[in-house]
Amino acid sequence: MREISPVQNWLLIAIVLAASGILYDMRFYGGHPFVGATFALFIGMPIIAFERKVILRRLYRRMQTLPTLIFFIAEIFVYEILMSAGFAVAGLSFWWLGAIQPASWVDAVILPFDTFLYALAVCALIIFVLRIRELLGRDIFMSMLLSRYRKPISEERVFLFIDLVDSTAFAEKHGDLKAQQMLSSLFAAFAEPVRRYKGTIDDYIGDAAIISWPLERGVKFGRCVNCIFDIIGEIEADAESWLKEYGQVPRLRAALHGGNIITAEIGVDHHKITYFGDTINTASRLESLCKTLNRSVLVSADLAKRIRMPESISVEDLGSHAVKGRGQSLDVVALVKADNRTVSPKLNTGVNSPA
């Protein structure tokens, strides 16, 4: 499936907003397409940017901690402020340029109530679609929309299994509720690196997360490797907050493996895209091997050879190991920050994946 860049994504949102403004202007004001589209962009884009955490990110995070009803009221209040500000900027600009002739400058900056309701409905629809897209994941959302996996297909994917170390001990000490709160915070910390490196969070299983990429996309620019080390780096950079909130900094184990799998959409009342095959099972077993080998990040050697490793990452060849549930042994390498371990020349000279 062809990648949709962030720029293309925002362009699509802008087109939808502009089109809604044109329709509204034609319906109520006789048709001034450019004016209607501009007003819609100035009113709607701040709302979408707020929901996508591009602006006022700290405010949004604080609001998320509120009870649902209060969060909803606060969100509407923020929407009103952003919409009114956008309308005022557009109105004053058009009034100053002579593109509109209101009775007074006040009419140019005060957002009419019917316009507010229309803009709110359009933004709510866009936000609803974006929320569903985030809930399912970008790739899964598009795949379900296009019915790509109604019939099982064979494809190549990279899987990243990430597991929280000592989660059971934490739950025994602090209780299940606190453990769940910590997991929620941890999984939330995964979101931005996964989005940054164009991956998909496919599932959460207990204290583990499964992230995947189409193989070509995942190995390109070392995205799958950069993703895990960015996750670890961001957690370490925020160590003080973790210690204050939970009394410890999360430690992770992670494993990467890629290859052929069967992908299919299953279910009747509840649909889900799932993966079948040795590749995903091996990735899971490889993550379990982290504990045995006392390593934080393991990668199958076959996958490592397909990735041009970032300069900040060193590769340690750990040889061949038996993997539970797999008939053949698996060649395994460990990844660490370059300043912590010697680079293995044999495995650090991979070639770029096809563009």
Cα dihedral across residues 193, 194, 195, 198: positive or negative? positive
Q: Which whole number is the average pLDDT over 319-330?
A: 78
Distance of CA 190 to the CA centre of its chain: 8
Would you state the pLDDT for residue 298? 95
Q: Hey, how many other C-beta atoms are within 10 angstroms of the C-beta on 311?
A: 10
Q: Tell me the residue range of the domain where 220 lies.
A: 155-340
- Using left for φ > 0, alpha for ψ between -120 and 50, and beta otherwise, residue 3 falls in beta
Cβ count within 10 A of residue 175: 11
- Contact at 8 Å (CB) between 290 and 252? no
Q: Is 112 helix (H, G, I), strand (E, B) or coil?
A: coil
Residues 17 and 104 in one domain: yes
The pLDDT, as a whole number, for residue 269 is 67
pLDDT of 325 higher than 70? no
- Number of compact structural domains in the chain: 2
Specify whether 102 is located in the same domain as 173.
Answer: no
| Residue 295: predicted pLDDT | 92
Per-residue pLDDT at 5 = 66
Question: Does 100 or 283 have the greater pLDDT score?
Answer: 283
Q: What is the mean pLDDT of the chain?
A: 83
Asked whether the CA dihedral 81, 82, 88, 91 is positive or negative, the reply is negative
Which CATH number does the domain housing residue 255 bear? 3.30.70.1230
Do 128 and 185 have their domain in common? no
Radius of gyration of the chain (CA): 25
Q: pLDDT digits over 222-243, tens only?
A: 999 999 999 999 999 999 999 9
When pLDDT is cut at 50, 70 and 90, the band that residue 75 belongs to is confident
Q: Residue 12: what residue type?
A: L
Q: pLDDT-derived band of residue 211, with 50, 70 and 90 as boundaries?
A: very high
Co-location of 318 and 185 in the same domain: yes
Give the single-character DSSP code of 322. -
Report which of residues 1 and 7 the model is more confident about.
Answer: 7
Nearest CA among 257, 168, 170 for reference residue 210? 257
